[in-house]
């Protein structure tokens, strides 16, 4: 083998390995930092521990969300209360977790309207998609919800705004039945007025 073909094959091998390593690198957020995600096992374990359900029950709810959206960039673990008689209100608070970012306290509140009656208290585990930095959570997220709580229940809903998707998984107790449309406003401080 002559020197020219040896150098050419070496450069080709180096170029292929560089391309392979760059294609496996995580995507970058708007601030240029790599976006780190949570895998299915991390989320199932965190959900089952926080909601107090079995890994199988948590896995069933999470499987559909992962199939539709992939791996989340963060999650919020918190509690909330809601009540409605046609018009409804929801208030909650929790902690936002993102890899490589400090944990941040988050509050949410919002109105709803629809064929909806009753009240419930829930633990809420919200998966966050395309949330590249913590401050991007502070906005309004519209959503549609259907609830059926007869003492206990577990459900998933989607909220979307500005390319960010939130998937709250709620496990709670109460007496509530119906469907509604509304929004949740996420904030740094608790707001009594839910607008």
Q: How high is the pLDDT of residue 3?
A: 44
How open is the CA angle 63-67-69, to the nearest 5 degrees? Answer: 115
Q: How high is the pLDDT of residue 47?
A: 87
Distance, CA of 63 to CA of 30 (rounded, Å): 28
Per-residue pLDDT tens over the stretch 94-111: 999 999 899 999 999 999
- Measured from the Cβ of residue 150, the count of other Cβ atoms closer than 10 Å reads 11
In this structure, are residues 177 and 145 in contact, taking their beta carbons and an 8 Å threshold? Answer: no
Per-residue pLDDT tens over the stretch 131-186: 998 999 999 999 876 655 544 556 778 899 999 999 998 887 777 777 888 899 99
CATH of 29-187, one of 3.40.50.1000, 2.40.128.480, 3.40.50.1100, 3.20.20.70: 2.40.128.480
Model pTM?
Answer: 0.78
């Amino acid at each position: 083998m002559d020197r020219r073909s040896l150098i050419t094959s070496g450069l080709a091998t180096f170029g292929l390995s560089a391309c392979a390593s760059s294609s496996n690198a995580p995507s970058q957020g708007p601030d240029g930092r790599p976006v780190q995600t949570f895998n299915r096992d991390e989320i199932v374990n965190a959900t089952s521990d926080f909601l107090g359900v079995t890994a199988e029950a948590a896995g069933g709810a999470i499987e559909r969300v992962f199939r539709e959206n992939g791996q989340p960039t963060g999650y919020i673990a918190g509690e909330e209360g809601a009540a409605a008689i046609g018009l409804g209100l929801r208030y909650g608070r929790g902690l936002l977790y993102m890899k490589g970012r400090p944990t941040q306290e988050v509050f949410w509140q919002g109105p709803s309207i629809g064929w909806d009656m009753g009240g419930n208290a829930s633990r809420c585990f919200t998966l966050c998609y395309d949330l590249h930095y913590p401050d991007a959570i502070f906005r309004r997220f519209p959503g549609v919800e259907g609830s059926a709580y007869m003492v206990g229940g577990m459900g998933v809903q989607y909220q979307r705004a500005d390319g960010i998707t939130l998937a709250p998984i709620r496990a709670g107790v109460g007496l509530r039945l119906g469907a509604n449309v509304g929004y949740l406003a996420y904030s740094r401080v608790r707001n009594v007025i839910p607008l």
